[in-house]
Structure 1
Amino acid sequence: MLTKYPKLLKLFKLLGSIILILAFFANTFAFFFIFIVGIIVVNIFKPSTKSNFLKLQAVLPTSSIRSLAVGLAEIQGKTKCADLIPTKIGNGKCIAYLYTVKRETKDSDGKSSFEVIDNESKTSPFFIADDTGKIEINTDGLDFVWLPEKGSYQSGNMHYTQRVLMPNEEVLLIGNVSSKNGKLTMEKDEHNNVFNLTLASSVSQWNTYKPLLNSLYVFGALCCLVAIVVIKSDVSIEDGVVFYSFSNLFG
């Protein structure tokens, strides 16, 4: 996968930028078509753990912890932790935090842009429990999705934010169930490249609005296609009748 070859991925992005520039100056449908196809191809061959998680959660049944078997599984339950860690911002305690430092810069027009200069994350050993039992989570390779922001401040042009996972949060987790010495543990599923955790409420919102988002994508693509066709077509009026010619569509 391209995610394993960052240099190849950068090459794809560079080629996409070149095609876009050529399309802008050449103003031909062919260049726009190639660019759109290139974007689709890159996204197909560049699956992230988050995209895999979102696809799998839509089709995987949620298993009760008591009925778990070895292999890929989705569970839902509350987070439990015996040894909470201090949050990076504030005096709270949490299971995990994602801490980000960004530098703000402004251009001559006063528009702000942000550059990430530091990322830090820390996770304490924890487990997930439902009404049927509990299971420990091997945190190696665990990715968090849409953790809520709790704590932020600004000092000069520096912005500091943190996202945290708290105890007793209702979460959804997809990963691989493994058995070690007769004890089940959830860990990263290397085959499906997925080991993601998010709040159950966030997944519910995503599944509610995803069809609308897909419709917007399709509508936007159709609008762009129609605009390109109209721009490239020749329009003439004879005896009050409008004629369209598409002979130069690929010219």
Structure 2
Amino acid sequence: MFEISPEILPFLVLFSLGIALFHTLILSGIFNVNLKPSWLMFIIDPVILILAYLFVPKESGIIFIGLFVSVFIMAIIGFIKNGIESTIESFREQRKNKTPVWKIIGGAFLALFAYLIFFYLGIYSFFIIFFLIILSSLLPNNKNRFYFYQRTLPTSTIKSIAMGLAEISGKAKAIETVISPDTDTPCVGYIYTVDEISTSRDDDGRTSTSYHEISRKTEIKNFHIEDETGKIEIIPDKLQWLNFSATNSREDLGRRYREFIIDEKTDFLLIGQAFYEGSKSVFRFDENKNVFGIAPLDIVNFSNKWRPLKLRALTTLSFIAIFSAFILFTPIRMVGNKIIIEQKNWKETFQSNPFDWFIKK
């Protein structure tokens, strides 16, 4: 057993505060969990370590290692979650844009290929998955393009907007009001989704719930965005709704019904193309930059506030992961007070399946 000594406990408590920082960044930045209070993990992690030291001293070191490893597990789960969400979004875009069937089938074959690689490479495939998830988060998609241009474009006032790619913000005003189907709310536009609810129970009696979207309806007509200088008409064809929270959600008879609404009270930020149409200016999808999105302004500001910390955290996690991988895969043995690092036969390692030891058991 790995027991924490009294001399090293204060150091590990301070180290647990660093772990709490990563837990906070991952929960808020990747999982979008609103921690209340925001410093909650800075209490939970040190308390777990201290309680382990007091009540299970012989296992206290193992619990500390568990806290440390949980950072990587949470980060990997978060990346996988974002990767799955990005894949679902891409699939919806393909269906909406009537992507050729051969491309969708090709994507399915790639998924099958990845499945086979997992069984051939075993645990080493997690490193490939980790790399591909990070790479996919950097590749262009609607959300990435929106936030890329949002960080580089200045916010234009509507009165002085220049033609071409632009960023504007203001309140939405309906030209023709639409009515949401579930709550009969007058609004500028809505997305109405129906999810099928699946409930499962594990061997310990814990219940988990998952949701599978079975229908989606969007209704939005031309509308205006107004700021203190004027207004401009928005043509909502191909408009992507980003970071919207459900304004209404209810569950009934094994299904969940949700509404996402563009109202006339919230400030929104839009990125698209300002274009002369006849004698007036309109705002529409930019075919050259392939971007046209709308997001609540407070969510965009929150994302910009946390982005530097998120990037630092991901960079640090990457270095820690590389260093940890080096330690895990490098043969090390102790001879007296000396640590001897042996040469690793990487060719033999990657030719063998690391799950073999488990299968033999």
TM-score (norm 2): 0.62
Query: What does the per-residue CA deviation read over 1:160-202, in whole Å, with 9 as the maximum and x for residues that have no partner?
Result: 1111110132111000111111311111012211100111111
Among 192, 199, 214, which residue is 2:311 paired with? 214
Deviation at 1:13, TM superposition (A): 3.9
Distance 1:82-1:18 versus aligned 2 partners, 3 A rule: same
Distance in 1 separating the partners of 2:221 and 2:153 = 27
CA RMSD of aligned residues (A): 2.3
In structure 2, what is the equivalent of residue 57 of structure 1?
Answer: 150
Distance in 2 separating the partners of 1:120 and 1:177 = 27
Unaligned runs of 5+ in 2: 1-89, 350-361
Distance in 2 separating the partners of 1:235 and 1:37 = 26
Letter in 2 for 1:96: G
Normalized per residue, the structure richer in helix is: 2
Deviation at 1:10, TM superposition (A): 3.9
Distance 1:214-1:20 versus aligned 2 partners, 3 A rule: farther
Among 141, 164, 168, which residue is 1:48 paired with? 141
On the 8 A contact 1:50/1:145 being kept in 2, the answer is: yes
Distance in 1 separating the partners of 2:106 and 2:281 = 38
On the 8 A contact 2:175/2:224 being kept in 1, the answer is: no
Distance in 2 separating the partners of 1:238 and 1:217 = 36
Task: Report 1:132-143 matches (<5 A).
Answer: 132-143=229-240
Query: What does the per-residue CA deviation read over 1:106-165, in whole Å, with 9 as the maximum and x for residues that have no partner?
Result: 234232222111111111321111122111001111111122321111112111111111
In structure 1, what is the equivalent of residue 333 of structure 2?
Answer: 236
Distance in 1 separating the partners of 2:264 and 2:131 = 44
Task: Report 1:1-251 matches (<5 A).
Answer: 5-24=103-122, 27-28=123-124, 34-45=128-139, 47-109=140-202, 110-249=207-346, 251=349
- Provide the identity percentage: 25
Distance in 1 separating the partners of 2:115 and 2:222 = 43
On the 8 A contact 2:158/2:231 being kept in 1, the answer is: yes
On the 8 A contact 1:16/1:39 being kept in 2, the answer is: no
**How many residues are matched?**
245
Normalized per residue, the structure richer in strand is: 1
Higher relative contact order (CA 8 A, sep 6+): 1
Distance in 1 separating the partners of 2:189 and 2:239 = 11
Unaligned runs of 5+ in 1: none
Distance 1:221-1:14 versus aligned 2 partners, 3 A rule: farther
Deviation at 1:33, TM superposition (A): 5.1
Distance 1:82-1:146 versus aligned 2 partners, 3 A rule: same
